[in-house]
Structure formats: structure tokens, C-alpha cells
Amino acid sequence: MKNLILLFAIFSLVACNKETNCRDKLPKQIIGTGEIVSNALVSRPLTTWAMSNYEHVIRTDSQNVFSLKVSFDNGNTYDSIDFNQYTLLGKYASEACRATFERNVTKDDSQKKYLYKITVHQCGLCDVLCESMNWVLVPKIPDDYDVSFSVETKKY
């Protein structure tokens, strides 16, 4: 029995040390590239079932059923989104334990298409859920353009 307890203690120390090392490999910030408006922070209401089970392309005030707002001053103030200038994209992604979410939106004018790709950088395994709706603001997407979404997970 003592050997079993000792073995468990050693395994726990090794597992915790490995998790600490992999946390150092995660990107330090949430990344947004491509067509994403880099200085825009979208408000973060409680994630609901209606949010998390759908991909969102919000082009008008009437589609903004979650009453999302945007900040251009690092979160000091939030204002209504001007949907004459912007489109709001959202896709739920989650992982266990520690994660950062890399976001990239590209457009292909020849195909009249936008691609919103989310890469989840994950570290460790535990009971804590790391989740994000991954709301991003992009310049106004024309109504005749399609938007597709993809989520990829990288584990460290």
C-alpha cells in the first residue's frame, strides 16, 4: 500500500510539472489576424445555449439578439456596433484546462467567401473548462458573401 501511495505521489508531481512546462508553450495572448479589427473588444455576456450551438454572422442591429457592444479603447467604454461599417462573427470553442484562442479571418473575393478559423492552443487535462465565444469584429461583409468557420486544436 505504501508503494502505491508513493507511486501516486510521484506521478502527480510529474504530471503537474509537465502541465507547468506546457503552459509556457502556449501563446501569451489571444491572437487576431487577417480581416479582424485589431483594436475592437466585443462585450462578453454569459454564453448561452443559443450562442454556443450556432455559428454567428451578425450584419444588422436586428440580428444582434445578444445585445453585443464593442470597445475601441481597451474596454474602458462599450458602445453599440455600427453595422453599416462592421460585421460581427462568433463561434464557440472550448477545451479542458488551459487554452488560448487564435483567431484569423481571411477573405477570398474571387469566391465571395470569408473564412473564420479558430485555433485552440490547449495545455493540460483537468475538470476546468476553458471556453470562448470568439466574437470578432470585421469590416462590413457584403450580403452576397458566404462565411465559413473552422476550429482546430493544437495540444502541448
Q: Distance between alpha carbon 37 and the CA centroid of its chain, in Å?
A: 15
Cα 116 to its chain centre, rounded Å, is 11
Mean pLDDT over the full length of the chain = 83
Tens of pLDDT along 54-109?
Answer: 999 999 999 999 999 999 999 999 999 999 999 999 999 877 677 888 999 999 99
Grid coordinates 454569459 are at which residue? 46
Can you give the pLDDT at residue 105?
A: 98
In sequence order, the 6+-apart residues with CB closer than 8 A to the CB of 145 are: 107, 112, 113, 114
Query: Using an 8 Å Cβ cutoff, are 142 and 110 in contact?
Result: no
Give the pLDDT of residue 130. 67
Note the pLDDT of residue 13: 35
Q: Do residues 146 and 138 touch, judged by C-beta distance below 8 A? A: no
How many structural domains is the chain composed of? 1
pTM over 0.75? The answer is: yes
Q: Which of 88, 84, 96, 33 is nearest to 55 (CA)?
A: 88
Strand partners, 151: 118
Q: Which domain holds residue 19?
A: 2-155
pLDDT category of residue 115 using cuts at 50, 70 and 90:
very high
pLDDT classification of 18: cutoffs 50, 70, 90: very low
